[in-house]
Amino acid sequence: MARRKKVYEGKAKILYEGPEPGTLVQYFKDDATAFNAEKRATVEGKGVLNNRLSEFFMTGLNSVGVPTHFIRRLNMREQLIRAVEIIPLEVVVRNVAAGSISKRLGIDEGTPLPRPIVEFYFKNDELGDPMVSEEHIIAFGWASQQDMDDMISLALRVNDFLSGLMLGVGIKLVDFKIEIGRVWDNDYMRLIIADEISPDSCRLWDIETGQKLDKDVFRRDLGNLADAYTEVARRLGVMPQREPPVTKPTLIN
Ligand code: UDP
């Protein structure tokens, strides 16, 4: 049997050529990396969890009219997606101060922000994904003014959707990162959500206890990462509990 063609391999995922033109197969690995891949580990089950969670979030977004690349899940670790031209930016939305904004601006982690803040980082591992402004993005031609407006609107819609979903299961959506890609339908170009949405790219805190249920568990050595992701999946009802074994009723005479 011919081996399928690998199109791209990243830190946590592999992309293969899809069955039809304009499609790709996205494979979720168990590899965890942090600090620009300086810290690495294999976390058994992470790929399976992120495949399911990303499916859940992307399907939900599609159903409320936020376009994403997700077509359907193929198996435990793979999903069929639309091929897009990735805009070389990481789009971060923050509701509560944590991570780099706390360090950069000296705001205590956990401080609620006055409104959701959208930030852009240039996707470049060698440079450590530096933060960039709208001025840079437009001057260097990474995106147009119209794209910027569309990206901000998409990012805020994703924030509203995910925040509500998480609140419903007792989780605070502190911040998250998305990637956005271009697709062409005939001559018409539009932007859609690409990559993945999972606890690898979000900060999720338990509302009651403040417990971290995201990749900070790995970054900061706070416990078992797969347990944290399993808890998120369990609360969202994403990984259905196994059905109890069927036992035959015993007839009592
Ligand atoms: N993030 C990500 N990939 C990156 C950088 C950040 O998914 O390469 C996510 C991160 O998990 C968090 C949000 O984006 O949910 C904001 O991250 P931040 O800028 O605070 O950077 P960090 O502290 O993670 O270095």
Q: Is the pLDDT of residue 221 over 90?
A: yes
Say yes or no: CB of residue 218 within 6 Å of ligand 1: no
Same-domain status, 126 and 152: yes
Same-domain status, 92 and 189: yes
Strands 171-185 and 202-206: antiparallel
Same-domain status, 114 and 193: yes
Query: What is the full DSSP assignment across 162-224?
Result: HHHHHHTTTEEEEEEEEEEEEEEETTEEEEEEES--STTSEEEEETTT--B-STHHHHTT-S-
Using the mean position of ligand 1's atoms as its centre, give its distance from the Cα of residue 149 in Å.
22
Mean pLDDT of 141-158: 98
Say yes or no: CB of residue 175 within 6 Å of ligand 1: yes
Q: Is the pLDDT of residue 193 over 80?
A: yes
* pLDDT tens sequence across 75-125: 999 999 999 999 999 999 999 999 999 999 999 999 999 999 999 999 999
Angle in degrees, 0-180, between the axes of helices 46-63 and 225-236, rounded to the nearest 10: 30
Distance CA 251, CA 200 (A): 51
Say yes or no: CB of residue 50 within 6 Å of ligand 1: no
Residue nearest to atom 3 of ligand 1 (CA): 201
Q: Is the pLDDT of residue 3 over 90?
A: no
Token pair 């990481």 in the structure block, residue: 90
Residue 219 placed within a domain? no
Give the pTM: 0.94
Same-domain status, 16 and 43: yes
Domain containing residue 63:
6-84+225-246
Same-domain status, 49 and 95: no
Looking at residue 2, its pLDDT comes to 63
Token pair 């933060």 in the structure block, residue: 131
Looking at residue 7, its pLDDT comes to 97
Residue 38 placed within a domain? yes
The pLDDT-based confidence of 251 (bands split at 50, 70, 90) is low
CATH number at 170 reads: 3.30.470.20
Say yes or no: CB of residue 201 within 6 Å of ligand 1: yes
Mean pLDDT of 232-246: 76
